[in-house]
Amino acid sequence: MADKEFLDDCIDKINTDQIRQWVRNWLYEKTPDYFWTIPSSSSGKYHPSYGQGEGGLARHTKAAFYIALDLLDRGLIQFREVERDIILASILIHDTFKKGQGEMHSRADHPKLVYDEIIKEGCDEGSVRNRIAKCVASHMGQWNKDYKTGKEINAKPETEMEEFVHLCDYLASRKYLEFNFDAVK
């Protein structure tokens, strides 16, 4: 089981004070308690072993965060500092409403649920929070349809930042990649 402090080392790596505090408040105040205890995938089909079992979703989030941090620190894609922090914030909150308000299974529209909650707080188009919301809303990439109806329910990435968030989430879900949590203290 992970607790709310499990992601503090990640939050502390966000350089922009306002973004760092907003993410801390989101994870401590808005994130449903189940986030810290459920596996990353209810079926077990879509994530590596570290994402399975109790606390798996929080571990998946930490893995995606450190993948992003490593790629950002390598400078392979150039982002401004605030964009870097928007990406990191987006990754930390991307799956926080994975089971909606506590439903039995993961919700295919969970990216939209987080997006809606951010927008509900009020934010202008182009603002930091709006950009975080858009990165979260599109983090599933091409897997943006309801599996039963085939209807598009989530946004697709449109910007480099949105695509980057999707890529990091995707890499953290690959079964052939394992993550050494002791290496990221």
Distance CA 178, CA 50 (A): 7
80: CB partners within 8 A, 6+ apart? none
Residue 28 carries which DSSP code? I
| Domains of the chain, residue spans | 4-184
Residue 73, φ and ψ in degrees, nearest 5: -65, -25
Residues 6-34: what's their mean pLDDT? Answer: 97
Cα distance between the two ends of the chain: 18
91-141 pLDDT per residue, tens: 999 999 999 987 777 888 899 999 999 999 888 888 999 999 999 999 988
CB 64 within 8 A of CB 91: yes
Quote the pLDDT of residue 145. 82
Higher pLDDT: 33 or 1? It is: 33
Which pLDDT band holds residue 147 (cuts at 50, 70, 90)? confident
37-57 pLDDT per residue, tens: 988 876 667 677 677 878 889
The tally of CA atoms less than 13 A away on the side-chain side of residue 29 is: 8
Farthest-apart Cα atoms in the chain, separation: 43
Quote the pLDDT of residue 43. 67
Quote the pLDDT of residue 3. 85
Distance CA 180, CA 105 (A): 27
The helix/strand/coil state of 79 is coil
